[in-house]
Amino acid sequence: MTPYRLSRPLGAALLAGSLLCAPPLFAQPAILEGERFHPEQGSRGMVATSHFLASQVAREVLAAGGNAVDAAVTAGFALAVTQPRSGNIGGGGFMLISDEDSDEVIAIDYRETAPAAATETMFQDEDGNAVSEWSRYTHRAAGVPGTVAGLSLALEKYGTLSLAEALAPAIRLAENGFAVPQRFVDGVSEAGERLTQWDSTRAMFFKEDGSPYEVGDTFRQPDLAATLRRIADQGPREFYEGETAELIAAEMERHDGLITLEDLAGYQPVIREPSHGNYRGYDVYAMSPPSSGGAHIVQMLNILEAYDIGQMGFGSANTMHVMAEAMKRAYADRSQYLGDTDFVEVPLAGITSEGYADELREQIAMDRATPSEAIAPGKPLPFESNETTHFSIADDDGLAVSNTYTINFSYGSGIAVDGAGFLLNNEMDDFSAKPGVPNAYGLIGGEANKIEPGKRMLSSMTPTIVKRDGKNFLITGSPGGSRIITTTLQVLMNVVDHDMNIQSAVSAPRIHHQWLPDELRIEAGFSPDTQALLEGKGHTLSQESAMGAAQSIVIEDGHFFGGADPRRSTSSAMGL
């Protein structure tokens, strides 16, 4: 993948703040007459993020001549300001970058790592029982953050802006503030008990008199602005070796945390090869371990490809049945085999092989559901040959970015680093606190995902790029914990199998099965008749309010179509 370099006028405009003040460029008029859902459109690029302010600054970067990586990094830092519940510099994630010119797709792994003092039994009591509160709401719940290093690496290798230029919009948003939307108010209210437990967090999310922010109030973050400015002035290593690192280490020392200055100084992101598969002639690239997403997206697609999903129809009982059966088997394998490939051998070639999918498909009967208790992790080894906030961005030079990053729970651990203005993740809960014991999302983990110093915890984050005839076609991904993988799967199937436009594809109701517990979770929108047929096949149904938030893009014939997921009220797709 060839590094990109750009003109200085764009950087000068970012630093001067003129882009944020520029009049908006409006997307082209809708051309999809007769559709119920209309995606945003553009001819020069597209941005889809979970916050309109982040979409705006990223779009302005593209409009001024920046590439998709420039826009992605600018959006990533802007989301850390405008969406502190999940956008972050205190967490980590994964980025896929596809370059049509070099026909290359690379994966940047900036997942958090376990501190050097972490131990396999650190979240177990003296009787060997896993204690969930320890891995979720304490300073020990935090892994070493990777976001600053990961975004900086992407910019350095594949962008055209300097880090200071990409940070400039985020710094202004933190210093000057932004009007609080309803989602912000609701989120703080729902998490109020956690956010008031720590003085640093209370000072960040509440007014000086202790009252909450209301819709339309201006929310300023001076500590975060100062942190971002230090990084802009001194480079990414400031976060890991400078004043910010000292603030993190001091926060840990005060509260029996584990992350040290040495842990921070030793952190490095990794460039990996993404998982790859083929589905009905489309090349599917998704995140490789320590994310489980790519392997199991490919595995489920391999199982499903033999069924005429398009003919069976969206939302039919048969379509939902075979999808659920494929999901069960993938999540069963996830529980045993997936982990950080720097520490464990993961049978990726076997899991993603078509031969293994054929074997699993033979277990599926069309007239009845297989009880989860009858499904065990399979045996992919004979088929061997010797991964929340998501955003998608594409430009008209053949560059596309799919990025998912997180601090795990909404507001992470709920602990803000005193004086630094950002929340700590609680990603240590994504390790297996004890093999066989489910984490907060009900996911079972095994020995492959046990806690080890320096290890990256298993993730469901699934940034995905689908190519057709060597050209970028679909850029997607989602937040949603254990539902990330199945949400991403369904957006892809809605586009490829059901010929939906991208807005329809992300708006359509979803299902989810993760093997254990043995229940098929469904959103509102599926007919009672279909639900009755599924129950007749033996599925236990569970109603869910919403699953995922898949900000997505489709590119066809030189036109860009953006789908902002309505499950997040601040979602926004913007084209140019």
Task: Give the residue with greater pLDDT, 23 vs 441.
Answer: 441
Whether 433 has a pLDDT exceeding 90, the answer reads no
Does the CA dihedral 468-472-478-484 come out positive or negative? positive
Asked whether residue 146 is assigned to any structural domain, the reply reads yes
520-523/45-49 β-pairing: unpaired
Mean pLDDT value across the chain:
93
Task: Tell me the mean pLDDT in the region 337-366.
Answer: 96
82: Cα within 13 Å, side-chain hemisphere: 26
Q: Are residues 491 and 399 in the same domain?
A: no
Q: If you average pLDDT over residues 274-300, what whole number do you get? A: 98
Give the domain-ending residue among 427, 450, 474.
Answer: 427
For 397-421, write each residue's pLDDT tens digit: 999 999 999 999 999 999 999 999 9
Least confident of 32-46, 236-250, 380-394, 519-533: 380-394
- Whether 453 and 351 have beta carbons less than 8 Å apart is answered as no
Least confident of 15-19, 32-36, 310-314, 356-360: 15-19
Q: Assess whether pLDDT exceeds 90 at residue 33.
A: no
Please state, in angstroms and rounded to a whole number, the distance separating the CA atoms of residues 367 and 370. 10
Flag whether pLDDT at 294 surpasses 80: yes
Whether 87 maps to a domain, the answer reads yes
CB contact at 8 A, 380 and 295: no
Q: What does the pLDDT read at residue 438?
A: 74
The pLDDT of residue 18 is 53
Does the pLDDT of residue 218 top 80, yes or no? yes
* Backbone torsion region of residue 551, taken as left when φ is above 0, otherwise alpha when ψ lies between -120 and 50, otherwise beta: beta
Structural domain contains residue 296: yes
Q: What is the pLDDT of residue 107?
A: 98
Three-state secondary-structure class, residue 282: strand
**H helices present in 206-341, as ranges:** 222-234, 237-241, 243-254, 261-265, 293-304, 309-312, 317-337
Average pLDDT over residues 492-515: 98
Q: What is the pLDDT of residue 552?
A: 98
1 lies in some domain = no
The verdict on 260 and 316 lying in the same domain is no
What is the spatial distance between Cα 509 and Cα 489, in angstroms, rounded to a whole number?
13
**Do residues 423 and 298 both lie within one domain?**
no
Say if residue 445's pLDDT is above 90: no
Q: Is the pLDDT of residue 292 over 90?
A: yes
HSE of 103, CA atoms in CB hemisphere, 13 A: 4
Cβ partners under 8 Å of residue 34, min gap 6: none
Residue % of the chain over a pLDDT of 70: 93
Tell me: the pLDDT tens digits for 78-125? Answer: 999 999 999 999 999 999 999 999 999 999 999 999 999 999 999 999
CB distance 426 to 257 below 8 Å: no
Task: Tell me the percentage of the chain whose pLDDT exceeds 90.
Answer: 88
Nearest to 318 by CA among 561, 533, 527, 495: 533
In a domain, 543, yes or no: yes
Note whether 90 and 206 are same-domain residues: yes
pLDDT band at 439 (very low <50, low <70, confident <90, very high): confident
Q: What is the pLDDT of residue 34?
A: 78
Query: Is the domain of 403 the same as that of 366?
Result: no
**Which of 419, 267, 296, 310 lies closest to 360 in space, CA to CA?**
296
Question: Residue 474 sits in a domain of what CATH number?
Answer: 3.60.20.40
pLDDT digits (tens, 9 = 90+) for 195-204: 999 999 999 9
Q: Judge if 351 and 404 occupy the same domain.
A: no
Residue 383 identity (one-letter amino acid): F
Residue 218's domain spans which residues?
40-271+390-427
Q: Is residue 415 located within the same domain as residue 342?
A: no
| pLDDT band per the 50, 70, 90 thresholds, residue 4 | low
Q: Do 243 and 286 belong together in one domain? A: no
Residue 517, pLDDT score: 92
Per-residue pLDDT tens over the stretch 145-159: 999 999 999 999 999
Q: How far apart are CA 99 and CA 471, in angstroms?
A: 9
Segment 423-432 mean pLDDT: 95
Cα separation, 443 vs 365, in Å, equals 25
Host H or E run for residue 132: helix 132-136
Stretch 560-576: mean pLDDT: 97
Q: What is the pTM of this model?
A: 0.94
Residue ranges of E strands in 410-496: 464-468, 471-476
Considering the domain architecture, whether residues 80 and 210 belong to the same structural domain is answered as: yes
What is the per-residue pLDDT for 2?
Answer: 58
Q: When comparing pLDDT for 13 and 394, which is higher?
A: 394
- Given a cut of 80, whether residue 502 has pLDDT beyond it is yes
**Residue given tokens 């002035």 in the structure block:** 233
Gap between the Cα atoms of 434 and 273, Å rounded: 30
Residue 5 pLDDT exceeds 90: no
Per-residue pLDDT, 312: 98
Number of domains in the chain: 2
The DSSP call for residue 432 is B
In this structure, is residue 540 part of a structural domain? yes
Q: Is the pLDDT at 288 greater than 90, yes or no?
A: yes
For residue 217, give the nearest of 226, 206, 201, 228 by alpha carbon: 206
Q: Regarding beta strands 511-512 and 520-523, do their DSSP bridges make them parallel or antiparallel, or are they unpaired?
A: antiparallel
Q: Is the pLDDT of residue 320 over 80?
A: yes
What's the rounded Cα separation, in Å, for the pair 420 and 247?
7
Q: Are residues 74 and 212 in the same domain?
A: yes
In a domain, 439, yes or no: no
pLDDT at 31 over 50: yes
Residue 437's pLDDT band (boundaries 50, 70, 90)?
Answer: confident
Round to whole Å and give the CA distance between 97 and 115: 28
Q: Which residues are catalytic?
A: 388
Residue 104 structure tokens: 């290359």
Q: Which of 380, 402, 427 is the C-terminal boundary of a domain?
A: 427
∠ Cα 122 251 220 (to 5°):
125
Calculate the dihedral angle through the C-alpha atoms of 196, 201, 205, 210, rounding to the nearest 10 degrees. Answer: 50
pLDDT surpasses 90 at 24: no
Please give the backbone phi and psi of residue 481, each rounded to the nearest 5 degrees, phi first: 60, -130
- Tell the residue number behind the tokens 């405008």, with chain if given: 82
Q: How crowded is residue 129: how many other Cβ atoms within 10 Å of its Cβ?
A: 12
**In degrees rounded to 5, what are phi and psi of residue 556?**
-140, 130
Q: Decide if 15 is inside a domain.
A: no
**C-alpha–C-alpha distance, residues 369 and 518, integer Å:** 10
205 and 326 fall within a common domain: no
Same domain, 491 and 400: no
User: pLDDT (tens digit, 9 = 90+) per residue, 155-193?
Assistant: 999 999 999 999 999 999 999 999 999 999 999 999 999
**334 neighbors 452 (Cβ within 8 angstroms):** no
What pLDDT score was predicted for residue 35?
84
